[in-house]
């Protein structure tokens, strides 16, 4: 009977080789998966229109910025990583004090999520950032204060908000204040004048025979007249005065800090400016005139409506007295 032979080296080696091979294949798979995750992570960072950042409060050093930094700021990331002032100097000058103060609040609050400020990118374009920041969770005994955050580019959102605000407050045809916005601002001016004891004047202006212009030349021609009247008002009034279209062919103005006598001088300039306007329809040239009613704030005026009523009555007296004139009420 043959003796049992000891197992050969190759027989015992096969399982070990197989295990090693399997281990290598597993490791290779793990590396591939890590590489895929890294590529996915990098792709996600590239696609986000926001800068992820980390900042050492004590050393004033930027520890990390994501790829969006170069896209939003228009500057190499290496510069801001070498010098925090690259970020600080890009902040719009009017917003710098707020941006620095709100960043410091994170040390007290632990998180600040309502920071919005402007920057100037390398091309000189103004961009809006919503920059949320947090204190990074510190390990026990660690002294470093690391702030992390995400600075999102919200420029398009701000532009949309501005456009919506403009549409809500502006008369589309004349680009002056619409009725609602005009009276909101006029009320604020009235309240301020009453509280401070300062003068204020109120003016109403109505285009003479405007219906005849529409009937004779068409509404498109009438729209042009309205636009030119509004342009004249905006050109003549002072900085800080209010001007708006409050009806079909009716405009109004408020003169904060201005007596009725001084406001009358402005109204006279406006009257002359409008009288100089010239319009063409085919081969025909024509002009327009306006009737104005003007009043000043009195001690007994408790509401804005009282000024409006006096100016309105004065304007209709101007109409009855022959138009193209200013009447004080």
CA distance linking residue 98 with residue 153, whole number of Å: 18
Query: Is 30 tagged catalytic?
Result: no
CA distance linking residue 93 with residue 192, whole number of Å: 30
Angle between helices 155-169 and 179-196 (to 10 degrees): 80
Sheet containing 290-296, strands listed edge to edge, beginning at the edge strand earlier in sequence? 242-245, 250-256, 200-207, 290-296, 326-328
CA distance linking residue 299 with residue 320, whole number of Å: 29
Handedness of CA 120, 121, 127, 130 (dihedral sign): negative
Question: Coil, strand or helix: which one is 323?
Answer: coil
For residue 274, report the phi and psi dihedrals to the nearest 5 degrees.
-70, -40
Of 116, 249, 250, 264, the active-site residue reads 249
**Residue 248, CB-side half-sphere exposure with 13 Å CA sphere:** 8
Cβ atoms within 10 A of the Cβ of 269, count?
A: 14
Query: Taking Cα atoms as reference points, which of 272, 252, 256, 262 lies closest to residue 325?
Result: 272
The two three-digit tokens of residue 13, written as one number: 């080696």
Catalytic residue numbers read 249
């Amino acid at each position: 009977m043959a003796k049992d032979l000891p197992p050969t080296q190759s027989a015992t080696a096969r399982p070990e080789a197989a295990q090693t091979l399997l281990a290598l294949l597993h490791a290779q798979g793990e590396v591939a998966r890590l590489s895929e995750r890294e590529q996915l992570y990098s792709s996600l960072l590239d696609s986000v229109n926001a800068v992820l950042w980390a900042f050492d409060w004590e050393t004033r050093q930027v520890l990390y910025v994501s790829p969006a930094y170069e896209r939003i700021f228009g500057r190499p990331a290496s510069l801001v990583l070498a010098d925090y002032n690259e970020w600080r100097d890009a902040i719009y000058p009017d917003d710098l004090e707020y941006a620095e103060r709100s960043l410091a609040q994170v040390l007290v609050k632990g998180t600040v999520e309502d920071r919005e400020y402007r920057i100037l990118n390398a091309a000189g374009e103004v961009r809006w950032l919503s920059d949320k920041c947090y204190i990074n969770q510190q390990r026990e005994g660690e002294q470093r204060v690391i702030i992390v955050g995400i600075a999102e580019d919200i420029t398009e959102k701000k532009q949309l908000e501005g456009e919506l605000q403009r549409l809500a407050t502006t008369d589309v045809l004349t680009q002056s204040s619409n009725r609602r916005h005009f009276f909101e601002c006029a009320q604020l001016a009235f309240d301020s004048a009453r509280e401070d004891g300062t003068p204020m004047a109120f003016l109403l202006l109505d285009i003479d025979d405007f219906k005849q212009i529409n009937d004779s030349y068409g509404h498109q021609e009438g729209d042009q007249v309205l636009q030119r009247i509004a342009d004249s008002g905006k050109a003549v009034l002072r900085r800080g005065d209010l001007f708006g279209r409050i009806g079909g062919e009716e405009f109004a103005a408020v003169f904060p800090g201005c007596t009725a006598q001084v406001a009358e001088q402005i109204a006279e300039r406006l009257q002359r400016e409008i009288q100089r306007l010239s319009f063409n329809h085919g081969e025909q040239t024509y002009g327009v005139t306006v009737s104005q009613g003007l009043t000043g704030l009195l001690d007994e005026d408790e509401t804005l409506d009282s000024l409006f009523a006096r100016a309105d009555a004065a304007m209709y007296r101007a109409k009855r007295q022959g138009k193209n004139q200013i009447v004080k009420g």
